[in-house]
A and B are shown apart, each in its own frame.
Chain A
Amino acid sequence: MYLNHEQVQESLPDYIAGSLKGETAAAVESHLAACADCTAEYALLQEMIAIEVPDPGDLFWQSLPKKVTASSSSSRPWWQSLNTFLFRPLPAFAAAGVIALLAFVGFGGFGLLPSGPPPQQTAQQNETAPSVASNEREQKPISPQIAEMAQALDATDSDATLLAEADDGIVTVDQPALASLSDDDFDELLQDLKKADLTGGDA
């Protein structure tokens, strides 16, 4: 490869920087060995580059990147700052922990946590289970006699109720209304119940 005088002069900065390779570098070297003008220019450039620049010190080099990013982050849009916050390792782990905890509680502890009420409540619930079951049973049509009696009793809302089944159906009769019946009316009601065999055999 051949380089003329001008090409060599143009290439000197690259030659000094070491960015010329192979044949090109060899061509520059062979020209320098023969050309005093280019050698003088090469020497001046080397001298220029060798002039040291005073070092501002490690503190400057270490603090500059942080100073710049801190000042630019204050002027960044909020969503980018949020990204920075969320994608820092610590908040990411913390967020993952919170999400896992919420999922654990939300899905009933994956079967590890007791899903029902405490044991005492469960026992109590077992005792009342039949009545609840009977309450939940489908209400079947009651006999016309019982319906008439219920109307006659003019039942009102009351906490205390008497349950009586009629043809496997349920009818509620207010206890105070029952108490206000006269003896004759009560006997009549009792007989009707006996006829329908709804007293459970007690009467």
Chain B
Amino acid sequence: MHFCHNEQMTDDISLIQQYLAGEEAAAEELIKRYQRQMYAFFYRMVRDMEDAKDLTQKTFMKAIGGLKGFRGDASFKTWIYQIALNTGLNHLKESRRETVDIDDVVIARQEGILNGLIDQERRQRIRESLHRLPERQRTAVMLRAYDGLSCEEAAQIMGCTEGAVKAHYHLGVKKLRGYMEECGYVSQS
């Protein structure tokens, strides 16, 4: 298995160097590259659009403000995911509240048909199951499945070994399937 992100990595580092030399447009380009990924990551984590927007902005402010300290040992992508993960986990610790998927309710009302409601409920169940997972397992599943990051990248972000990431991911997916089956849902294959 080979994951080659060298081109993207070199490109990111070149933008960072341009920004540090005083070119603000380079930072804007860097943000544009990752803003959608960051927002989606946060939305899946906190399940609230406004919170996800705020956290995305906060993460980029931290990242751009701290670019002087970026040593280039890892890619900018894993570096910003590290910041995002810490920012998101801190937010969850601070808020510790149950969120309601208002968007899902609105979509369900608009669809107004039985199939739509069933699908909607199924999506809701998957999200809830994901949030029932222990933090490390949930993070491993999110980084691997949603964000398409490699085991190596996920390990750098989570600050553990690749083996640990594989174990967290494997246990997480197994539990997810268990939660879904508890509720009477079987995989739609």
* A interface list, Cβ under 8 A from B: 6, 9-11, 13-14, 16-17, 19-21, 24, 39-45, 47-49, 51, 53-54, 56, 60-61, 64-69, 71-73, 75, 80-84, 86-87
Contacts and interface: CB of A to CB of B under 8 A. Distances in A.
Nearest to A81: B22
A24 B60 contact: no
A53 B40 contact: yes
B118 interface: no
B180 A68 contact: no
Contacts of A80: 20, 22
Nearest to B141: A48
Given A69-B27, A72-B65, A24 B1 contact: yes
Contacts of B52: 56
Interface of B is mostly: helix
A65 B170 contact: no
Contacts of A14: 1, 3, 148, 150
Contacts of A47: 122, 126, 187-188
B3 A56 contact: no
A84 B43 contact: no
A24 B27 CA distance: 37
Interface in B32-57: 32, 35-36, 39-40, 43-44, 49, 52-53, 56-57
Contacts of B22: 80-84, 86-87
A69 B189 contact: no
Contacts of B151: 10
Contacts of B60: 64, 68
Interface size bucket, B side? 35 or more
Contacts of B122: 47
14 contacts: A10-B169, A13-B144, A24-B1, A43-B189, A44-B176, A47-B126, A61-B35, A64-B57, A65-B29, A65-B32, A68-B57, A68-B60, A69-B64, A72-B64
Contacts of A45: 145, 173
Contacts of A17: 148
Contacts of A40: 177, 186-187, 189
B170 A43 contact: no
B20 to A, nearest CB: 8
A48 B123 CA distance: 8
A69 B24 CA distance: 7
Which of A9, A11, A48, A81: most chain B CB closer than 10 A?
A: A48
A53 B1 contact: no
